[in-house]
Structure 1
Amino acid sequence: MRLIPLLMMVVGASACGGATAESPLTVSLGGSHDATEQALKTHQFCLERSSSVIASQQKQQLYPRCGRTAAEHGDAWVIASYDGDRLVELRRYERYGDDNRAIERWNALVGARMKTSTPSDEALADLKSRGLVEPGTRSVKAFQAAAGTVVGVYLLTPSPPENANVLEKISYVK
């Protein structure tokens, strides 16, 4: 008789595994528009579509959070930048009305990224030497990703146009 509740718990727990909107982005640079759209969908970010625009010809695409039923403490979206049909940069912005919540989220994102990689002074130097440190940066941790790619996790002072507190940016550096 207890088998059904136990089975529901196991199925529910297995459905929670994998990428979520809160986990670090795992999208590799170099992919096509279509591949990027599919990869970001696994992170619960869905392409904003316009009937007058051909998606595969856009230099930048906006991916707001996919539809969800629960309330959240902040707002999050991704901007993908392309050179032709090749992804060259990915930015996930997060905006929070409460600075303490933003700091908590930045710490959580850095901690989650540190489970698969360690912060790198060399990666941070690459960001700085190429002028890739974002304006309004209060703190940044940089991680070496695939060859020639750096991930920066930024705690920002909100400023227009994004007014974001947290930024996770995947960039080519070489």
Structure 2
Amino acid sequence: MNSKLNKELISRSLQLAALAEMQPDDRIARITWDRIQDDLEQADSMVFGMQFCIANIAAFIKTYFKETEHSIAALSSCHQLIAFLGWNQEQVLTMEQSRKVFIDYIKDVVSMYNDTKQNHCENAQCILAMNMNSMLLQDLDYVMKQSPQRERSLSPALETTAQLRSQMVQVFGWNSSET
């Protein structure tokens, strides 16, 4: 028992040391992403996780960014992705919890630190959305590798997710070298 506790404390200490070395926006995003993953693990469903990510990416872009050709294209890619995966668009989009994910969780994390500014929160929100996109890419890749017969039908979804990533970089005003 003591050995397990010591190992856990060492592991936590290393994690805390790594967090302390991160830039504030990366630290906020990292801690918030861990909370989101905890929520998704409770659902224990890859489909739910993918739908959650798509819904929240779409809601984030629609709610927090002005309408431009880039934001319209990104939202269109979210809708195409839902269609390629054979899901009901209206049902998926109502799953969004963007206020909880992009505001409430971040506020909770920010309250623990005194070295954060508004732009750190905004960057952390964008990093979270990119993490959701990465999770989609990984999940689609995993399913395609597990089921070669589904590879052909899922290829358009994978391509759309990669395209969405590029569009998100544009929407967020990042240079492509930042991702």
**TM-score bucket of the superposed structures, by smaller chain:** under 0.3
Output the TM-score relative to the length of structure 1.
0.24
Bigger helix share:
2
Output the TM-score relative to the length of structure 2.
0.24
The one of the two structures with greater contact order (alpha-carbon pairs below 8 A, sep at least 6) is 2
Bigger strand share:
1
